[in-house]
Amino acid sequence: MSNFWRELYTPFFCLAPMEDVTDIAFREMFANYSNTADAVSKLVLFTEFTPSDGLAFGDDKAQEKLRAKLSYTDKQRPIVAQIYNSNPGRMEEAACLVQELGFDGVDINMGCPVSAVIKQVSGAALINHPDLAVELIQAVRRGAPNIAVSVKTRIGYSSKSDMNSWLSTVLQEKPDALTVHLRTRSQMSKVPAQWELMPEIVRLRDEISPDTILIGNGDVQSVEQGEDLVLKYGCDGVMVGRGAFGTPDFFNKPIVTQGHKVQMLIEHIRLFDELLLTPGHKGYHVMKKHFKAYIGGWNGAKELRAKLMAAESPGEAIKVLRGGI
């Protein structure tokens, strides 16, 4: 079994799995801009979450769309595919596929707060169904015995009093890595992440599964802040989500000038077009969601953004951006 998590230097960083955000084009941007001597020593990239039932049983068209979520380039390694479902058999099959596709790891989503996912007894609902969560971890291990298996979850469902028993249940399954988003499901992302709970989670990890790599998640806005949190609270790495929007050089030395932001957005649009839009895997509206994060913070940004939002194709958007420099 190969476990890349144990080969990372501490503190390391992960780019969080984010639906319709961390697709192959977005990840390629981070791989390109983190590939310098100044960048953090190791960056782990995650795919968007992918439903296991569709991967295993969808019709050809559905399968093609889902497999596109699991496309990556070698530059993006180490790379982890995130999957979810409440059926152990389907999770086993999906994990097997993830291993066949050459991923470095497979992650189980046990933290998604969205109602449609909760209704399927997936994501954060598993916090209230610990026996099923255990079965799912075991199924994924059976399906992908040669790669690292990890879990991403929250500190509880509606109360942080769930934390000790829930995280102990997960840790007893000895995942290779565990990411804890330091909020409950009920808190969604509305309150500040409770990093002060991390030392208690570290203690549980040390007691139950000392070999599990522990990653903290929530509200990290810079590499420096992430390094401070690791130092202060004792986890091994940090996962960054929203803080990295529009900032492919987040894990390097972010340059916030207008010219650089515009240039990065042009590159991102081109990659999105080539890898996702032209092959028919994603619509242009998905790319549009990134514009606000790139274009902001200087005089005239609002007007440029309005023109950009009105553009109806990658070619038009790039024309607007070139005019805006």
Ligand X SMILES: Cc1cc2nc3c(=O)[nH]c(=O)nc-3n(C[C@H](O)[C@H](O)[C@H](O)COP(=O)(O)O)c2cc1C
- Rounded Cα distance, 4 and 147, in Å: 8
By beta-carbon proximity to ligand X, the closer residue of 45 and 304 is: 45
Residue 153 CB, nearest approach to ligand X (Å):
9
By beta-carbon proximity to ligand X, the closer residue of 149 and 220 is: 220
Alpha-carbon distance values, 191 to 142, 215, 222 (Å): 37, 19, 19
| 112 catalytically annotated | yes
Q: Which of 14, 96, 112, 235 is catalytic?
A: 112
- Rounded Cα distance, 239 and 145, in Å: 25
DSSP summary character for residue 21: T
Residue 193 CB, nearest approach to ligand X (Å):
6
- Rounded Cα distance, 161 and 171, in Å: 17
Q: Which residues bind ligand X (CB under 6 A)?
A: 16-19, 21, 48-49, 82, 109, 111-112, 152, 181, 189, 217-220, 240-243
Number of H helices, E strands in the chain: 14, 8
By beta-carbon proximity to ligand X, the closer residue of 77 and 242 is: 242
By beta-carbon proximity to ligand X, the closer residue of 26 and 318 is: 26
Closest by Cα among 24, 162, 157, 49 to 109? 49
Cis before 78 (ω within 30)? yes
- Kindly report the length of the chain: 325
Residue nearest to ligand X (CB): 241
Structural tokens at position 323: 């005019």
Residue 259 CB, nearest approach to ligand X (Å):
27
Residue 178 CB, nearest approach to ligand X (Å):
13
Task: Give the active site residues.
Answer: 112
